A = this chain, B = another copy of it.
């Protein structure tokens, strides 16, 4: 299963690096299609999964039913606006310690955690006032 170069994979990764809003596979597809109208949705899904598997991008499951993808693979937390659905990065310290807290009274091994925050984003908060 040696990896071979593919123009499509390159395009997908490049596109993802320009975006900081954690797009879904469908959004990636619609955009990459502008540069290569022949690309298929299946190829987009295959490459997003592959890139996520080899750790070049991150797959986010935020509970809205569809996966989001992030070219930023450094550990960081996300915020989802319950009003507009936008996803944004949070600048905050690591919460690794909560894994220890969780493992304190647990009969097994805890390897990690998944956490995301929700609420109202700055934009939506503004328009509420109007």
Contact = CB atoms under 8 A, between A and B. Distances in A.
Contact of A102 (B90, B108, B120): B90
Interface in A42-78: 61, 63, 77
A124 to B, nearest CB: 7
A-side interface size class? 35 or more
Contact of A108 (B107, B111, B116, B122): B122
A101 to B, nearest CB: 6
A92 B81 contact: no
B124 A120 contact: no
A39 B58 CA distance: 40
Interface in A66-119: 77, 79, 81-82, 90-93, 95, 98-99, 101-119
A79 B120 contact: no
A89 to B, nearest CB: 10
A28 to B, nearest CB: 19
Given A90-B105, A109-B120, 7 more contacts: A63-B114, A95-B98, A95-B101, A98-B115, A108-B123, A110-B117, A114-B117
